Amino acid sequence: MRTALRMRLVAPSATLGMAAKAADLRRQGKAILDLSAGEPDFNTPDHIKAAAKKAIDDNFTRYTPVPGIHTAREAVTAYYKNTYGVPMPRESVILTSGGKHALYTLFMALLNPGEEVLVPAPYWVSYPDMVRLAGATPVPVPSSPENGFLVTVEDLDRAATPTTRALILNSPSNPTGAHYTAAALDAIMDWAVARDIIIVSDEIYDRLVYEPAKPASMAGCFALHPEHVVVVGGLSKSFAMTGWRVGYALGHPSLIRAMSTLQSQSTSNICSIAQKAAIAALTGPMDCVEEMRLAFKRRRDLALSIIKTWEKALCPTPDGAFYLFPCLSAYYTAAVPDSTALSEALLGEAGVATVPGVAFGEDRCVRLSYATDDATLEKALTAMGDFLGKL
């Protein structure tokens, strides 16, 4: 069947692909230790589920306004006020079907063909494809494990050109867990304003930051630079709500209006029931979120203690999210020459599912998710270490 030319610009998501391969092997009866998941292994907290059940019983089951009901948009602004002390008007929020769709709609509303978008690498798999679908050109800005996978203003300045329209900053990062301090974000903001570049700040892991690092959001920049920053977030990761598909963008009201126009011609609005659940999540008790965060921190430390025993691996300690991104290229051989071959060998021979770093623009690494129970994590990393030791 002949499909549109634009399908050449986009590949299936590598992370979802690896999860599907692991699930296939499991169906064939193979025991797979899965470190490929990009989602919390926890259940959605009870008070959030209760709000959704009540919405159904109250027959809150019809179309809603395109950017979301007032109270749901206000729940997002309340969250930013309570968490970061940033007051925002309701008109600066649109609710979207997941953070992914916020980014997709945003790029469609913002970018023109010929414009360039700086994408610090390693990057989340979907950014380059989404930028290309919007007709613009993604420009990777490399970082290194030695620098904790963080880019500096100097790195960005070297990559920027007069056609650079936007920079995608993802902190804490998928796949590296790297997290920018508030001071680093401020420096990047000043640089972007001076060059008239819009920062798209993907903060979907914003609650998963591990002390001594402190949470930091670009939302604080709105007051001074409302036309140079858009924050994207969502409930999937922090609230264990991947299946509910609740994301949002916070930005200049005229940009949010443009995104609403696009959304009115695509998804109309996000699920009405999920909006009620989002209000409960964003304005309700946060102790369940804190429990999950502490569990992730403990697992990060457990995983790092095992990875430290792998002699030739280089793995910075990430300050957030639930991923580790060890550099394993010192183990590569003629038979296992890159991250794809290594991930495949790990799956086939050690029964451990990972995601090859090449999908994130860094072929020296593989991504490991520690969003799994301690026993699986320990078993998987031990099996992985044994496998690497034999290469």
Contact positions vs ligand PLP (CB under 6 A) = 38, 98-100, 124, 170, 174, 202, 204, 234, 236, 242, 247
> Cα dihedral angle (302, 306, 308, 311), rounded to 10 degrees?
-170
At closest approach, how far in Å is the CB of 200 from ligand PLP?
A: 10
At closest approach, how far in Å is the CB of 96 from ligand PLP?
A: 8
CB 237 within 8 A of CB 39: yes
Considering the complex, state which of residue 236 and residue 275 has its C-beta at the smaller distance from ligand PLP.
236
At closest approach, how far in Å is the CB of 351 from ligand PLP?
A: 24
Residues near 92 by Cβ (< 8 Å), separated by ≥ 6? 77, 222, 250, 251, 252, 253, 256
What is the side-by-side strand order in the sheet with 355-356?
A: 323-324, 366-369, 355-356
CB 371 within 8 A of CB 41: yes
Reduce the DSSP state of residue 368 to 3 states and report it: strand
Burial class (CB in 10 A: 0-12, 13-18, 19+), 391: middle
Considering the complex, state which of residue 98 and residue 215 has its C-beta at the smaller distance from ligand PLP.
98
At closest approach, how far in Å is the CB of 138 from ligand PLP?
A: 15
Considering the complex, state which of residue 77 and residue 97 has its C-beta at the smaller distance from ligand PLP.
97
At closest approach, how far in Å is the CB of 308 from ligand PLP?
A: 25
**Side chain identity at residue 224, one-letter code:** L
At closest approach, how far in Å is the CB of 177 from ligand PLP?
A: 11
State which H helix or E strand residue 141 sits in.
strand 137-142
Residues near 322 by Cβ (< 8 Å), separated by ≥ 6? 40, 177, 205, 208, 237, 296, 299, 300, 369, 370, 371
- Listed residue (101, 137, 114, 140) closest to 274, CA to CA: 101
At closest approach, how far in Å is the CB of 23 from ligand PLP?
A: 17
Considering the complex, state which of residue 100 and residue 329 has its C-beta at the smaller distance from ligand PLP.
100
Distance CA 371, CA 64 (A): 33
Considering the complex, state which of residue 36 and residue 170 has its C-beta at the smaller distance from ligand PLP.
170
At closest approach, how far in Å is the CB of 322 from ligand PLP?
A: 10
At closest approach, how far in Å is the CB of 286 from ligand PLP?
A: 19
CA distances from 154 to 56, 124, 158, 334, 362 (A): 52, 22, 6, 36, 20
At closest approach, how far in Å is the CB of 239 from ligand PLP?
A: 10
Considering the complex, state which of residue 175 and residue 351 has its C-beta at the smaller distance from ligand PLP.
175
Considering the complex, state which of residue 116 and residue 202 has its C-beta at the smaller distance from ligand PLP.
202
- Closest residue to ligand PLP, based on beta-carbon distance: 98
If you write DSSP's letter for every residue of 317-367 in order, what string do you get?
---BTTEE--B-GGG--SSS-SHHHHHHHHHHHH-EE-EEGGGGT-TTBEE
Distance CA 212, CA 214 (A): 6
- Listed residue (193, 184, 123) closest to 152, CA to CA: 184
Considering the complex, state which of residue 99 and residue 351 has its C-beta at the smaller distance from ligand PLP.
99
Residue with tokens 């089951």: 61
Considering the complex, state which of residue 343 and residue 369 has its C-beta at the smaller distance from ligand PLP.
369
Q: How many CB atoms lie within 10 A of CB 170?
A: 25
Considering the complex, state which of residue 98 and residue 351 has its C-beta at the smaller distance from ligand PLP.
98
